[in-house]
Amino acid sequence: MIYGLEIEMLGIVVLQESFNPFIGWVNYQSPQPASDNTVVVCFSVHWGQYGSVTTWNGTYDLEKQNPMIKTQWLLVRSNSKFVWDHMLTGSSTFMLNKN
């Protein structure tokens, strides 16, 4: 299980006094013959005062020299202008910052 505090939302720093809690999981199965293998990850952030929750699901490849997590995300929000606009989807790639 992964858990902690998230202070950045989709690459944009959220300016607020409190942190946004996140939780996640990692799952892995031993490589099978003649198949590709990766680590499966997911994590979610509760955006508190914004009335929304985001979940990322994706993969992490242990063999790459430049480690990255590639995900698809779903953001669900309480308030929106339209009934069909409460759910947003997209993709994000998280890379190691070597600075």
For the beta carbon of residue 3, count every other beta carbon within 10 angstroms.
10
pLDDT tens digits along 1-29 = 455 544 444 444 444 445 677 888 899 88
pLDDT digit string, tens, across residues 28-51? 888 899 988 889 999 998 888 889
Tokens representing 78? 């309480």
2-95 has which CATH code? Answer: 2.40.128.30
Query: What pTM did the predictor assign?
Result: 0.75
Please give the single-letter amino acid code of residue 62: L
